[in-house]
Amino acid sequence: MRVLHLTGPVLVDDHTVMDQAWVVGDKITYGRPRHSGEATVIEGTVVPGLVDMHCHVGLDSGGATDVDLALKQATVDRDAGTLLIRDAGSPLDTSFIHDRPDMPRLIRSARFIARPKRYLRHYAREIEPRDLPDVAEDEARKGDGWVKLIADWIERDAGDLTPLWTTQQLADAFARVHAVGARATAHTFSHEAIGPLLDAGIDCIEHGTGMDEDHMRVAADRGIPVVPTLLQVDNFEGFAALGEGKYPAYAERMRRMHQRRYEHVRDLYESGVQLLVGTDAGGTLGHGLLPQEAAEMAKAIPASAVIASATWKAREFLGVPTLSEGESADLVVYPEDPRVAIDVLKTPTAVVLRGDVVAR
Ligand SMILES: [Zn+2]
């Protein structure tokens, strides 16, 4: 049987660092295996496979991709160290990825939900607000435990971001999602959409650029994480420039949120909100950018917190094991401790998925 010897250290969680480890078959173990042959030695700091909490596999700027392109996207993510993806909505049914042991683990939100003319075309399941509860339950049954909805978008008549759904529609939808054992997350840029989402019982918030101090306190108290997607928020300046002629209020708001982006993430962190790391790869952003997103977050909060967010904290939130004895060997090895030198995420020594060295 194939054996890898990881010379360590191995970061398991906030409290557990192991000196060294072995990979035997597809499992990690901390006891030296009784094994007569040679073990392949890999030196460096080991972390659990990175988790991209907001990634779209099977989506590009024109809508659904074909199967081959979806596999290419997931491969690019994998080779950058992302071994677990919570897909934040895709127009392509990517459940075939579950049957591919060479692909990252995938937790799908099925199709994201929006209203006609209130989101990018060809991306979402576009519905009337009264149908939200039925559709949310339907997508919850099709996905892997998550549904994703678009909570706000530009409304042309208003000339600014406005919510897509009422609090009651959201509350009814989340109740139906929870009843089938799934959780809900939502795209939101605006301030106005946050209160209704929190009141209705949302489980996670994407982007969250409009959250104020009160929202942060509620999210912290209830353990509702926020995925700040700083690479996406960096596009806000461009969105403002595009919209400025017709929608000056929108442009002004987007610019303000862009300027405050690092301060905003620091405020979330200091309020005790659990932050998770997401690239928003798929629509306009490329795949494989988790190291870049993590480096962006480390401009606002400690690198050690970013690494925890990108690994064991995200795994715990999704109910997927970290590198405990006997668990699947899904890990990345770096030449230095990424908590000290976060840029090292861009140059992994080895990426190991289900015990196989998939990139080196
Ligand atoms: Zn997204």
- Indicate the angle between helix axes 261-270 and 213-222, nearest 10 degrees: 40
**What's the gap in Å between 212 CA and the centre of ligand 1?**
21
**What's the gap in Å between 152 CA and the centre of ligand 1?**
13
If you write DSSP's letter for every residue of 96-143 in order, what string do you get?
GGGG-TTSPEEE---S-EE-TTSS-TTTSEE--GGGHHHHHHHHHHHT
How much is the pLDDT for 204? 98
How much is the pLDDT for 1? 77
Give 11-16 contacts, CB < 8 A, sequence gap 24+.
11/45, 11/46, 11/47, 11/48, 11/307, 11/311, 11/312, 11/323, 11/337, 11/339, 12/48, 12/312, 12/322, 12/323, 12/324, 13/308, 13/312, 13/316, 13/322, 14/308, 14/312
| Cα 90 to Cα 283: distance, rounded to the nearest angstrom | 10
**What's the gap in Å between 355 CA and the centre of ligand 1?**
30
**What's the gap in Å between 281 CA and the centre of ligand 1?**
7
How much is the pLDDT for 37? 78
**What's the gap in Å between 278 CA and the centre of ligand 1?**
9
How much is the pLDDT for 283? 82
How much is the pLDDT for 316? 97
Cβ within 8 Å of residue 335, ≥6 positions away: 44, 45, 344, 347, 349
- pTM, 2 dp: 0.97
| 94 in Cβ contact with 58 (< 8 Å) | yes
How much is the pLDDT for 131? 97
pLDDT below 50 — which residues of the chain? none
| 105 in Cβ contact with 82 (< 8 Å) | no
How much is the pLDDT for 36? 67
**What's the gap in Å between 298 CA and the centre of ligand 1?**
21
The length of the chain in residues reads 360
**What's the gap in Å between 250 CA and the centre of ligand 1?**
20
Please, what CATH class does the domain formed by 49-318 belong to? alpha beta
How much is the pLDDT for 121? 83
| Cα 153 to Cα 224: distance, rounded to the nearest angstrom | 22
Domain layout of the chain by residue ranges: 3-46+322-359, 49-318
CATH 3.40.50.720 fits 3-46+322-359, yes or no: no
**Is omega for the bond preceding 116 within 30 degrees of 0, making it cis?**
no
| Cα 334 to Cα 81: distance, rounded to the nearest angstrom | 10
